[in-house]
Amino acid sequence: MLRITYKEIQAHFDDLFCSINKSQSKAMKKNQLIDALPDGRIKLYSIFRLIQPDGKTEEQLKSDFEQSFQIIEDALKRLNISNSSIVAKNVSKANGVPMLIRQILFFMCYVAYWMEDNAKKKGRIGKSKVTQKYFLDRFGFSHNTWTKWGMRPLQFFQTSAYIQPECPIRYKGQKKGELGFAINNLVYCAGKYDCFLDIFGGSGSASAAVCPIDNKKYLYNEWNPTIYHTIYVLSHEKLHIELIDLLKQIQDDLAEKGHADFLDEFHLYPSKDLIQAIQEREKNGKMKTSTTEKMSKVAKESGLPLVRSWHNLYDFGKEYNRCLRKKLSAGATIQIGKKNYTYDELKFPVDENGNIDVSNYWLDRERQIRIHTVERKLNLQFAGYRLADEEDAAEMGVSIDHDLVNRRWKEELRKEGNAKEFNKLFKDEPFDIKLLSEEQKNKREDEIERLEKRKSNLPEALFDMMHYLILCYWQVFYNLYLSFSPSNDREKVLLAAAHIFLRYMAFQGLDEKSNTRVLYLDDYRSDDYKSALVEKFIQVDYKKLIKDFYKRFRRETLYNKNAIDLVKQYKKGISKEDVIIYSDSPYEGTSGYEKDKTDKFTKKDMEDLIDALVDSKQKFIFSCRAAKGSLSGSKTDDKLKKLNGSILENVFEVFEKYQKKKKIVLYVLAIERKEGKKVLTLADLIRLNKISEIMICNYQVSYIMPYHESIHYQVYTFVDFMDIVRKNMNK
Cβ atoms 252, 258 nearer than 8 A: yes
SS3 call for 202: coil
Q: Which of 111, 107, 35 is nearest to 75 (CA)?
A: 35
Higher pLDDT, 396 or 67: 67
Higher pLDDT, 162 or 263: 162
Mean pLDDT, rounded, of the chain:
78
Q: Which of 619, 714, 728 is nearest to 665 (CA)?
A: 619
* Gap between the Cα atoms of 218 and 197, Å rounded: 6
Range with the largest mean pLDDT of 105-114, 369-378, 525-534: 105-114
Residue 88 has pLDDT above 70, yes or no: no
* Gap between the Cα atoms of 311 and 367, Å rounded: 18
Q: What is the amino acid identity at position 675?
A: E
| pLDDT at 456 (0 to 100) | 40
Residue 463 has pLDDT above 50, yes or no: no
| pLDDT at 530 (0 to 100) | 36
Pairing type for strands 334-336 and 667-675 reads: unpaired
Give the pLDDT mean for 416-430.
83
Q: Which of 590, 658, 655 is nearest to 629 (CA)?
A: 590
- For 478-535, the pLDDT digits (tens) are 667 766 678 889 889 999 998 898 888 764 445 444 333 344 444 333 344 334 677 7
Q: Which of 731, 704, 728 is nearest to 716 (CA)?
A: 704
C-alpha to C-alpha distances, 244 to 115, 168, 236, 507, nearest whole angstrom: 36, 11, 12, 20
Residue 672 has pLDDT above 80, yes or no: yes
Higher pLDDT, 527 or 80: 80
Give the pLDDT mean for 138-160.
84
Cβ burial, residue 336 (10 Å; 0-12/13-18/19+): middle
- For 284-327, the pLDDT digits (tens) are 544 444 444 555 555 555 544 444 443 456 777 888 888 888 88
Cβ atoms 220, 607 nearer than 8 A: no
| pLDDT at 384 (0 to 100) | 34
- Phi then psi for residue 597, to 5 deg, are -125, 130
When pLDDT is cut at 50, 70 and 90, the band that residue 636 belongs to is: confident
SS3 call for 401: coil
Residue 342 has pLDDT above 60, yes or no: yes
pTM of the model: 0.71
Residue 87 has pLDDT above 90, yes or no: no
- Phi then psi for residue 493, to 5 deg, are -65, -40
Cβ atoms 554, 238 nearer than 8 A: no
Cβ atoms 700, 728 nearer than 8 A: no
| pLDDT at 513 (0 to 100) | 40
**Which residue spans within 380-451 are E strands per DSSP?**
385-387
| pLDDT at 293 (0 to 100) | 55
| pLDDT at 454 (0 to 100) | 45
Cα angle 660, 663, 668 (rounded to 5 degrees) comes to 80
Half-sphere exposure of 652 (CA within 13 A, CB side): 26
Residue 385 has pLDDT above 50, yes or no: no
Residue 563 has pLDDT above 90, yes or no: yes
| pLDDT at 403 (0 to 100) | 53
Q: Which of 223, 243, 225, 224 is nearest to 233 (CA)?
A: 243
Q: Which of 127, 224, 193 is nearest to 579 (CA)?
A: 193
| pLDDT at 506 (0 to 100) | 66
| pLDDT at 504 (0 to 100) | 84
| pLDDT at 531 (0 to 100) | 43
| pLDDT at 389 (0 to 100) | 35
When pLDDT is cut at 50, 70 and 90, the band that residue 601 belongs to is: confident
When pLDDT is cut at 50, 70 and 90, the band that residue 721 belongs to is: very high
* Gap between the Cα atoms of 199 and 265, Å rounded: 38
